[in-house]
């Protein structure tokens, strides 16, 4: 925790590029929980400059939790890749994903129209949040079909990273042995 607070202090008082690289390395070697906690406690304001590192750290945290659960033995005896069988069994999850992806697509479309008409925009945190809670496919489709947010790395890299994280979560849920 003290190390994470130190990194957040550095992040607030040095060039973002240097600290983003350090935060990325620390989160990859297992420090994502502490960094995420420090961000929540000391640096809650989300701005464009820190958005990519926040998306990365959140995704790495979720993946690290799943890896920890797998290592601790919280999984089925056999590994399966039967996604369709899983979604057939949990239809409510499939309905949720369809709805949240539609909402994400619509949010990106509204933001695109608002941008063209110089009206109030949807916050970046909201758009990425919709992707994070299951709307990554709708977000990615909207980005490239509507040509919106395709120049921002926290979208062009962040949304596919969120999608990879969601595939890992679904894979774990399929093989959790519940």
Range of the domain at 148: 77-174
Instruction: Find, among 112, 124, 122, 3, the residue nearest to 54 by Cα.
Output: 124
- Is 23 part of any domain? no
Q: Which residues contact 153 (CB under 8 A, 6 or more apart)?
A: 52
- Is 110 part of any domain? yes
- Is 122 part of any domain? yes
- Is 53 part of any domain? no
Rounded-to-integer distance, Cα 37 and Cα 107, Å: 28
Q: Which residues contact 152 (CB under 8 A, 6 or more apart)?
A: 48
Instruction: Please tell me the total count of domains within the chain.
Output: 1
For the entire predicted model, the pTM comes to 0.80
Question: Quick one: which H or E segment has residue 121?
Answer: none
Rounded-to-integer distance, Cα 167 and Cα 161, Å: 10
- Is 68 part of any domain? no
- Is 56 part of any domain? no
Rounded-to-integer distance, Cα 84 and Cα 2, Å: 44
Diameter of the chain measured on Cα atoms: 55
Whether the Cβ atoms of residue 178 and residue 90 lie closer than 8 Å to each other: no
The distance from CA 45 to its chain's CA centroid, rounded to whole angstroms, is: 17
Write out the chain's pLDDT in tens, 178 residues: 444 555 455 555 555 555 666 666 667 677 777 777 777 777 667 667 777 778 888 888 899 899 888 888 888 788 888 888 889 999 999 999 999 999 999 999 999 999 999 999 999 989 999 999 999 999 999 999 998 888 888 788 889 999 999 999 999 998 886 6
- Is 69 part of any domain? no
Handedness of CA 104, 162, 132, 99 (dihedral sign): positive
pLDDT at 16: 54
Whether the Cβ atoms of residue 173 and residue 74 lie closer than 8 Å to each other: no
- Is 150 part of any domain? yes
Q: For the CA atoms of the chain, what is the radius of gyration? A: 18
Helix, strand counts (H, E) of the chain: 10, 0
């Amino acid at each position: 925790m003290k190390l994470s607070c130190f990194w957040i202090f550095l992040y607030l008082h040095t060039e973002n590029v240097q600290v983003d690289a350090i935060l990325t390395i620390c989160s990859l070697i297992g420090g994502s929980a502490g960094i995420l906690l420090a961000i929540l406690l000391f640096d809650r304001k989300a701005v464009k400059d820190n958005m990519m590192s926040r998306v990365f750290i959140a995704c790495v945290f979720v993946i690290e939790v799943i890896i920890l659960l797998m290592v601790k033995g919280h999984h089925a005896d056999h590994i399966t890749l039967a996604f369709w069988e899983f979604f057939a069994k949990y239809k409510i999850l499939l309905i949720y994903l369809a709805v949240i992806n539609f909402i994400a697509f619509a949010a990106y479309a509204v933001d695109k129209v608002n941008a063209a008409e110089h009206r109030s925009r949807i916050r970046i945190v909201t758009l990425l949040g919709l992707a994070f809670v299951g709307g990554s496919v709708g977000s990615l489709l909207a980005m490239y079909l509507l040509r919106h947010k395709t120049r921002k790395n926290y979208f062009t890299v962040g949304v596919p990273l969120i999608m990879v994280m969601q595939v890992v979560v679904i894979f774990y849920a399929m093989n959790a042995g519940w």
